[in-house]
Amino acid sequence: MNSSPKLVLYNFSHSSCSWRVRFALNLKGLDYEYKAVNLAKGEQFRTEFEQLNPLRYVPVLVDGDVVVSDSLAILLYLEEKYPQRALLPDDPRRKALNLQVASIVCSSIQPLHMLALVKRIEEKVGPEEGLLWAQSSIEKGFFALEQLVKDFATRFATGEALYMADVFLAPQIATVVMRFNIDMSNFPILSRVYESYKTVPEFRASSPEAQPDAGS
Ligand SMILES: N[C@@H](CCC(=O)N[C@@H](CS)C(=O)NCC(=O)O)C(=O)O
């Protein structure tokens, strides 16, 4: 009998950061308990959640007595503790490329278009400025990513297999297409790999619409 406690993921259906972790858990075949933190209702500010992550952001993974927040940290933790279905290649060059893509998405793109920031810009600078700021930040990042992966991308961002770069890119592209009306024709490589992601069952199963809190 497996005595390990079940993993618990505190997350929100429509959060792209949460989507990365759901996608990785699915790829690794890890069962987890879904705990919804409804960001639209401000549930990240509840005391119980703040005790798990004082930054009050989702996702947070709980694995027994280990609590990890921040999607990149969670992915690296999962990779070490649950090495099945590796999300980082052995080759140091491709491994670095995967880490670079993941880091760019989570530190140089997503934080620049998070809803709290966009709302603040709309309030302080002007109603149209939030969307324009988000779009220019996303496009700058996507142009850089296109350059970065151009010699490696085939079916997926860094080759024929799905790796960590894809785990970060797939929800990122899906989210900005839906939310920020990004014209993906400017990004032919990202568009091509995005078409591949849409056929991956583990990605589809991790999408916002497939989650128990999708309608909330
Ligand atoms: N670097 C963090 C960022 C986490 C983050 O920005 N989470 C957003 C949702 S994608 C959030 O919880 N926002 C709540 C808020 O802004 O109050 C990660 O990758 O997990």
ipTM, two decimals: 0.99
180-189 pLDDT, tens digit each: 999 999 999 9
DSSP-derived 3-state class of residue 159: strand
The number of the ligand 1 atom at minimal distance from the alpha carbon of 12 is: 9
CA-nearest residue, atom 19 of ligand 1: 71
Q: What CATH class has 92-203?
A: mainly alpha
Whole-angstrom Cα distance, residue 214 to residue 216? 6
What's the CATH number of domain 9-85, 3.30.160.20, 3.90.180.10, 3.40.30.10, 3.40.1180.10? Answer: 3.40.30.10
Whole-angstrom Cα distance, residue 144 to residue 101? 10
Segment holding 7, helix H or strand E: strand 7-11
To the question of pTM greater than 0.95 for the whole model, the response is yes
Contacts of 33 (CB under 8 A, 6+ apart): 6, 7, 8, 9
Average pLDDT, the chain: 96
Q: Could you tell me the pLDDT band of residue 1, with boundaries at 50, 70 and 90?
A: very low
- The dihedral sign for the CA sequence 50, 30, 24, 64: positive
Cβ–Cβ under 8 Å, residues 159 and 204: no
Q: What is the mean pLDDT of residues 114-140?
A: 97
Domain boundary assignment for the chain? 9-85, 92-203
In the reported structure, the alpha carbon of residue 145 is separated from the centroid of ligand 1 by a whole-number distance in angstroms of: 21
Does the pLDDT at position 9 exceed 70?
A: yes
Assign 3-class secondary structure to 15-83: CHHHHHHHHHHHHCCCCEEEEECCHHHCHHHCHHHHHHCCCCCCCEEEECCEEEECHHHHHHHHHHHCC
In the reported structure, the alpha carbon of residue 3 is separated from the centroid of ligand 1 by a whole-number distance in angstroms of: 32
Closest listed residue to residue 52, CA positions, set 30, 33, 37: 37
Cβ–Cβ under 8 Å, residues 137 and 179: no
What pLDDT sits at residue 216? Answer: 78
The number of the ligand 1 atom at minimal distance from the alpha carbon of 59 is: 20
List residues bridging with 61 in a β-sheet: 9, 68
**Pocket probe mutation, ligand 1, options 9, 58, 101, 168, max atoms within 8 Å of Cβ:** 58
- In the structure encoding, which two tokens stand for residue 87, read together? 């999300």
Whole-angstrom Cα distance, residue 150 to residue 188? 10
**Percentages of the chain per state (helix, strand, coil), in multiples of 5:** 60, 10, 35
* Other beta carbons within 10 Å of 122: 15
- Ligand 1 neighbour 39 (Cβ under 6 A): yes
CA-nearest residue, atom 11 of ligand 1: 57
In the reported structure, the alpha carbon of residue 2 is separated from the centroid of ligand 1 by a whole-number distance in angstroms of: 32
- Ligand 1 neighbour 1 (Cβ under 6 A): no
Whole-angstrom Cα distance, residue 82 to residue 103? 21
- Ligand 1 neighbour 169 (Cβ under 6 A): no
- Ligand 1 neighbour 53 (Cβ under 6 A): no
CA-nearest residue, atom 13 of ligand 1: 57
Whole-angstrom Cα distance, residue 204 to residue 133? 29
